[in-house]
């Protein structure tokens, strides 16, 4: 009696393309090369933004450090 509960819907397992929302097979996240390009472009931009934030953060910490510990 260890059968899983009946599925709520009859739709087979699938996901939706994270770019355009079209249904894709469970192992896929994107429906086409076009969406892959969009996705990778977005990832790249996101990574650059995160890097920029990190640099800003380090610069801020660094200047704070100098502000507090530099002899007057």
Applying CB under 5 A, the residues found at the interface with Zn ion are: 17, 19-20, 31, 35
Q: How far is the CB of 34 from Zn ion (least distance, A)?
A: 7
Residue closer to Zn ion by CB (options 20, 64) is 20
Beta strand ranges found along the chain (DSSP E): 15-16, 23-24
Residue closer to Zn ion by CB (options 16, 50) is 16
User: 65 with 44: CB under 8 angstroms?
Assistant: no
Q: How far is the CB of 22 from Zn ion (least distance, A)?
A: 5
Q: How far is the CB of 25 from Zn ion (least distance, A)?
A: 12
Residue closer to Zn ion by CB (options 20, 43) is 20
Rounded Cα gap, residues 71 and 46, in angstroms: 39
Sign of CA dihedral 17, 22, 28, 34: negative
């Amino acid at each position: 009696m260890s059968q899983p509960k009946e599925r709520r819907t009859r739709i087979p397992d699938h996901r939706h393309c994270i770019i355009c929302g079209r249904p894709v097979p469970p192992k896929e996240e994107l429906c086409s090369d076009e969406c892959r390009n969009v996705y990778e472009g977005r990832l790249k931009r996101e990574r650059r933004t995160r890097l920029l934030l990190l640099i800003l953060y380090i610069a801020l910490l660094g200047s704070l450090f100098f502000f507090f510990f530099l002899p007057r």
